Amino acid sequence: MIRGVKGTRSEERVFYRLLRMASISISPKLIITAMKLVKRHPLLALVNSYLIDSPAPSNLSYLWNFGSLLGTCLALQIITGVTLAMHYIGSVDLAFSSVEHIMRNVNSGWLIRYLHSNGAGFFFIFVYIHIAKALYYGSYRAPRVLLWSIGVVIFLVMIITAFLGSTETCLKWLNMISSH
């Protein structure tokens, strides 16, 4: 065991084995210094306790990534949506022209528009996979009933928002078609 650093011999052996597998030659003295720094520095110790030393569940798999993917998709939707809203004009006469302006004249406008439209589809795919994972692992049972209920409310709000947004768009198009 390295003096002054909490950890087990097996952790050290695994670490050295990983270094050998990656064909990285680092002196043990440098590793000891880095481990001491990570364990003793207040900010690095906090990051270490949350990211490295935190216990992991035995059923951890790639299915656990879909919650963070949902957060990433939501951030992408908000950023691209606000950016598109800055350039979009919602009147019947100028809507098509504004979309054309976004696609042709705005720097990377085509990319922002396609990220926004494809991000919405991926968001729903990730939501359904996330719900399926929660059902498979029984996340709706005690002691997570409140968490499950909050998730169901968020899901219903998301569905209602998507439906009202598409309904509003359909009503605008129907109004435009019927008035001409």
74 shares a domain with 43: no
CA 161 – CA 87 distance, rounded (Å):
22
**pLDDT computed for residue 73 by the predictor:** 95
Mean pLDDT (10-residue bins), the chain, 180 residues: 54 68 71 81 85 76 89 94 91 90 96 94 94 92 93 92 71 69
Of 178, 176, 180, the C-alpha closest to 91 is 176
HSE (CB half, 13 Å, CA atoms) of 163? 6
Q: How confident is the model at residue 99, as a pLDDT?
A: 93
Q: Is the CA virtual torsion 10, 13, 17, 23 positive or negative?
A: positive
User: 84 and 39: one domain?
Assistant: no
In this structure, the number of other CB atoms found within 10 A of the CB of residue 155 comes to 14
Angle between helix axes 42-51 and 28-40 (nearest 10 degrees) is 90
**CATH number of 75's domain:** 1.20.810.10
Amino acid 62: pLDDT: 87
Q: Are residues 29 and 111 in the same domain?
A: no
Could you tell me the residue range of the domain that residue 17 belongs to? 9-51
> What's the Cα-to-Cα distance from 107 to each of 30, 83, 103, rounded to whole Å?
47, 11, 9
Residues 140, 66 share a domain = yes
pLDDT at residue number 149? 96
Please name the residues in contact with 88: beta carbons below 8 A apart, sequence gap of 6 or more.
95, 98, 99, 102
Q: Could you give the CA distance from residue 59 to residue 61 in angstroms, rounded to a whole number?
A: 6
